[in-house]
Each structure stands twice: as C-alpha cells, then as structure tokens.
Structure 1
C-alpha cells in the first residue's frame, strides 16, 4: 500500500484533494490507521482516480461523480446525464459567442466614432411588477411636461407619500404621431391606492426590457431608435406586442426637445434560436 504522499505523486492528485475526496465519500482510502489517522491507498484505486479525472474533464461536479463511479446509475441514466451536460456546455458556448459578438460590435463602434463620444450601450433588464399612479391621454408630446407636473403635484397632495424621483412615460401607440399619441405618464407609488379623478393607480407588469440611456429628450432621436433596432436585430430578439415601450426620466423635461437624461426601455421576447440570455450585455 502507499501512504497518501506517495499515492499523491503516483496519481498526480494533491494530498489535500485526496483528503477532501475521502471526506465526501468520493474516494475512500483502502486503509486508515486507527491510531495515527494516516491514510493508505492501493494501486487498484488508481483506476477510480483516473475515472474521477475523466468526469472532471467532462465538467461534472465531484458530488455528481459519486453515483457515476459507484455504479448506482444504469447505462440509460448515465447517457441522460451526459446528454444533459452536453446541452449545458452547448448553451454556455452559445452565450459566450453572443458575448464575443457584442464585444466585437463595441470595438467596431469605437473604431467608427469620429467625435470621441462613447457609443450608446444597450442592456437587457428583467423588471418586476410595481404600482404606479398615472394619467393616460391621446395628446401631443408637447403636453407631456405639463402632464408630469400635474401628476406629481396630485400624487403629492392626494396620497401624501414621498415621491419617487422617476417619471415613467408609456408609449401605447403612434409615438411618432404629432398630436395623436396614446401615451401614459406615471410615477411609482407604494402600493394599491384608490383612483382619484383621472388619476389611475395600477400595477405595471414586470417585463424583459432592452434599455438604452440617452439625452435626446421627449422628441426622441433617430440615432437612439436606430441603434436599438439594429441591436435587437443582431441579437435575435423580437419586440413584445403586448406591452408598450417605456421611457424613464430622472429629470423633468421643460420641452420635448430638452436634452435630459432618460432611458428608453423596449419590451422584448426571445425568438427561437435567438438571443441566449444577454442580461447585462452591452452592444
């Protein structure tokens, strides 16, 4: 038999790892001295070590290896585990390829930039539901600043709660129309509250959103929308037909063309064979 230090050299597995294998029941010593606690191994145990290394190379965790090594799984079960691992690795490769594509696109944008301004970034964000107080009208974009002021004052007076800094504009239809835009302005509130006049309190659904920060103001910008559209096409996302696009404002715009910081948020859906989880990614 071999002492643990000798077996470590033969097997090319550290003594620390061998002790851990013993602890979790993956590879027990052939004999443990009851007086000294020293571990001893036999040459036959090298076969199990080699199988551990094979399964480790395939990406299995040590805990997953135990039934594989102990023969607790039949051929079909082992085949199913290998197929599942294969699918995991394929998905990981697809995600990393998508990340590589985003890096290359970012490098291309930097190369094309002539004024030294950083390129617009697109990220994917999953939001949860939240309660908002809102006013919805078919009107023009020029009326939005006034609607926001009216809403914030009414919420402050009627509901006596601290106002969230964010203002949400929901574009329900025809955002490009001049005087007939179906839009809704909203501010977050603590929870369900009674409606007051034309102020409606409702739950805004959570959504998967492609988000792009900009300072184009309510008037919008071709560069912003073209950038977002191109990114969605490249990444293979579709646009949700059930939810309106959103814009988040942290400052109150005086006029539609006022250059205030905002974030355009487009509800998106996965297409078959499309974008694999790009959360947090940049274009």
Structure 2
C-alpha cells in the first residue's frame, strides 16, 4: 500500500485528479483511514489508472471511461484504440504541416512582389516518408521528367484511393547521377511509417535545402530551377549541381488549371545527421 502522493507520482497524475476519480467512483482508494480520511492505494491498481488515463486521451468522456472500465478493457483492445488515435493525430499533424507550408509560401510570394529577383531561402527540413512510385526519365528536361511525374502521380492516386489512404503533401523527388543523362523520379504523398498496399515506402532524409516558390503552370518552373542553380554557383555549392537532388513540394496543385498552382522547389544542399 502507498499513500495518495506516492500513487500519484507512480501514475503520473495529480493528487487532485485522484481525489476527483474517487469522488465520481472511477478509481476508489484501496483503503481510507476512518479517523484521518487519508487515502491509500494498492500498487496493483496502477493498471486501472493507466487504462483510465489512456481512455481519456482517446477522447472518451469520464462517463464513457467508467463504462469501459466496468466492462474490462483488455490490453490488446486498448493498444488497438491507442494506435487508431495515434494515426489520427499523425494525420492531423500532416495536414496542419501542409497548411502551414501553404501559408508560408503565400507570405514569401507577397514579400517577393517588392523584389526584383526571386526570394531564396535556406532552411533545414525534417525527414519525410512517402508512399510512392519511382521511374526513370530519359533526361532532366521538363518535357521528359514532367511526363514521368504526371504518370507516377496518377498511379499513386489510383492506388491510394483504392485503399482509402489519406493523401496530403504531394512531393516529387529527382535524383541525377554525375555524367548520366537519366534522372530517377519518385512521386508520392507523405504518410506515417505504415506502408500503403501497392506502393513503395520512400524515405527522404532530413536535409539542408535552398528553396524558392514557383506560382503558375509547371511549364514555367524552369525559371525557379535556374534561379536555384545560379544561387548554388554564387554561394560555393557548384559541386552539388554535378548530381543534383531536387524536391518539388506541391502546396496548391488541385485541378487541371495550373495557373493557381504553388510549388516550393528545393535543392538539397546536404543531408543532416
């Protein structure tokens, strides 16, 4: 038996919350001293407290938690509930991250309106896992890579829709080899670690990148590529242009009318870690 303060420490909650759970009948102490009113708990009650906290974290009301605890929640069942909740949080985070990137891109475009040249930003980007497909383009021209990336996205979307997989943050990754005209093209959507049936799991490492924002039809994105290439040359990064690794993050790319599309083009300067 331990006192309420020690039980609160072991369970990672406050004594106030334990008193509240006692008052509403969710978790009563193992013993209450009749003269002092001091509560004591059995260490064996910790699994009940852990389930209570986990169920609250899943969004259940305390009344619903009481019913579930009364029915008895098996560890495997609780783990399944928590995994579903975790997946939902990850989905929200991906969508929020994408929304934030869109707002940031708009702010950069507004700032760019008063500048003669496009704004280049260097930053660190987190690692990203894609559900994706890859193929080889004959060369680095937009005519060649554009056809490949459109085809890949079409296949990825079809396969993700078939299994009702959540789609957000579309990304295309282009990898060239020194002295080789061919370009490896990968296209997909950010996903959690779990794979999507029919698609490969493709990992983009955390990296330092130089980026600029392109607005409008993809046929005109060559200007953004040239801007970043000139930046690399001017800032002592000419070696990365020998075998460049490019990322296109499609922030607003809905519909066939590309006049309103917004794409963040990133040139990988170096991997982090």
For normalisation by structure 1, the TM-score amounts to 0.44
Kindly indicate whether structure 1 or structure 2 has the higher relative contact order, using CA contacts under 8 Å at least 6 residues apart: 1
TM-score for the superposition, normalised by structure 2? 0.45
Structure with more of its chain in helix, by fraction: 2
Rg larger in structure: 1
